[in-house]
Chain A
Amino acid sequence: MPQTAALAPEVAGVLDAVADMAAAAFEVVDQISALVQERFTAGEAPSRATLTGVGELCAGFVGTRDHPVRGAGYVAAVGYLADEPWWLEWFTQGEDGKSHRMVCQTDPDGVGFFDYEFLTWYVVPRDTGHRHVTGPYIDYLCTDDYNMTYTAPVLIDGKFAGVAGADIGVQTAETLLLPALRTAGRPLAVVNEQGRIVASNSGRHLCGDLVTDVDVPAAWASPARAGLHVVADLPLAVLELAR
């Protein structure tokens, strides 16, 4: 990766680990997005029935323990499908290690209605047109666990048709990032653009906490001065902590 060439190798190693993790998630997201676009441009009016194949595609990642993605799918733009105003074609790994469709309440008058129209992983791709990483966050609507969600907008004829997404749990993120953090030999933290810590190699910088050493949101525009190394086009960065 050319942008990391001039960096100290210990920082570059962690940046690569973050980029690899994001690439694993977006590999799934991009395939889902491509499949949904293909289905929706085939001529029929978009409906639940046109979403065939998403489950099989997701099962290839979600239903195997070799891949870090534990949940994936397509979430329709509100009002986009003809037959279901709200719809999640979403698959998660069950206790048996296999991929299962997540059944959730999509009737706005029902108890426990899954109201995703206000959630970050949906709102940011819709409003910015760019892919996004949400979390670490407590995913009380879906996985019921500590999660990170990678999403990208699905565009049909330039119009927002929903998001394609993939989940990598914070626990898995730690497993993926810790080897590089351990060998870094200096205090580093992987943070999101809010300054929330995903993983670090310091007991004083815990996952889920906001870093107080640096005002990360303010430093995001000119990160180098703050010792912040942003992963290209993603809301994730490696922060050099005070030794």
Chain B
Amino acid sequence: MAIQFYGRATAAVFAPLESTSRSARVARRLTDAIALGLLPDGEQLPGEADLAQQFGVSTVTIRESLSVLRQEGLIETRRGRGGGSFVREPVDGPAVLAKRRLAEVSLLELRDLGDLYAAIAGSAAALAARRNDTEDVRQLRRAASQLADAQKPDARRRADAQFHIQVAVAAQSARLYHEEVAMQAEFGTLLWLAFGDDDSHEQMVTSCDALVAAIEARDTDLARRTAEQRVADATARLIDYHLAQEP
């Protein structure tokens, strides 16, 4: 088959929709949710038909994804009355899932993910600086103080994720908000490996406060720079962490 060239601008129209299969992407989403602790140990997954409807894929695709998760020991399927698929958290904790994934990722991919996340977080922060009202600032301060008060690594990670969500909410952009959520699932799970200790926590609390101040002052440039720097710092920590692991 001859591939027609429609010019540079239109080439994107005919680019493949997604490079990975649908079942692999569903499996990845569910794995990320387990890694993030959103689907705790013992949680029952919705039935195949419901999952198919929620993901907008066929039940065949769902069956493939579930069989991947079953092979990895992340779910257990029981038959009969009261049966279904139940989450089985890895014995050494959900972080092992993120570690497994990190081992397969190159430094270049991490840099690329960091660049994209910085673009999303930076734009959301700039729009938040332009569009915030007093209620937004109140919610941001609340999220920032929850992060500052959080003691355990898990609580710190959740509070950090919540703070990012609040910034995207203040930006009033549904698309940026959805991109932020998608990045948290794809990249946040990895970033969290290198976040939660006192050192990184202190750094994040400081930059959160700086970001809230810039947003409240309606300083769009400073808000964008501060948010980009936050992501750059987190990415750098992750890359250092990655390099410190045994190859």
**Residues of A near any B CB (own CB < 8 A):** 95-96, 111-112, 118, 120, 136-138, 140, 144-146, 194-196, 208-210
- 19 A-B pairs besides A138-B168, A138-B169 with CB distance below 8 A are A111-B40, A112-B38, A118-B139, A136-B172, A137-B169, A137-B172, A138-B171, A140-B168, A140-B169, A140-B177, A145-B174, A146-B172, A195-B133, A196-B131, A196-B172, A208-B131, A208-B173, A209-B172, A210-B130
Cβ-neighbour of A120 out of B40, B130, B135 (below 8 A)? B135
Give the number of chain B interface residues (Cβ < 8 Å): 22
Counting from the closest, the 9 A-B pairs by CB-CB distance are A208-B172, A194-B133, A138-B169, A146-B174, A138-B177, A140-B169, A140-B165, A111-B38, A120-B135
Give 24 CB contacts A-B under 8 Å.
A95-B56, A96-B53, A111-B37, A111-B38, A111-B40, A111-B158, A112-B38, A118-B142, A136-B172, A137-B169, A137-B172, A138-B168, A138-B171, A138-B172, A146-B172, A194-B134, A194-B135, A196-B131, A196-B172, A208-B173, A209-B130, A209-B172, A210-B130, A210-B133
Residue of B nearest to A134 (CB): B135
CA of A196 to CA of B135, assembled, Å: 12
Residues in A whose Cβ lies below 8 Å from that of B177: 138, 140
Residue of B nearest to A146 (CB): B174
Residues in B whose Cβ lies below 8 Å from that of A196: 131, 133, 172
Residues in B whose Cβ lies below 8 Å from that of A137: 169, 172
Residues in A whose Cβ lies below 8 Å from that of B135: 120, 194
Residue of A nearest to B166 (CB): A140
Residue of B nearest to A193 (CB): B133
Residue of A nearest to B138 (CB): A118
Shortest Cβ gap from B12 to chain A (Å): 26
Most buried by B among A111, A112, A138, A145: A138
CA of A137 to CA of B169, assembled, Å: 7
Residues in A whose Cβ lies below 8 Å from that of B38: 111-112
CA of A209 to CA of B133, assembled, Å: 10
CA of A136 to CA of B37, assembled, Å: 31
Complex contact B131–A209 (CB within 8 A): yes
Shortest Cβ gap from A105 to chain B (Å): 10
Residue of B nearest to A171 (CB): B174
Residues in A whose Cβ lies below 8 Å from that of B173: 138, 208
CA of A194 to CA of B139, assembled, Å: 16
Contact with A along B41-61 (1 / 0, CB 8 A): 000000000000100100000
Cβ-neighbour of B53 out of A95, A120, A146, A210 (below 8 A)? A95
Most buried by B among A96, A136, A145, A208: A208
Residue of B nearest to A112 (CB): B38
- A-facing residues in B157-191 (Cβ within 8 Å): 158, 165, 168-169, 171-174, 177-178
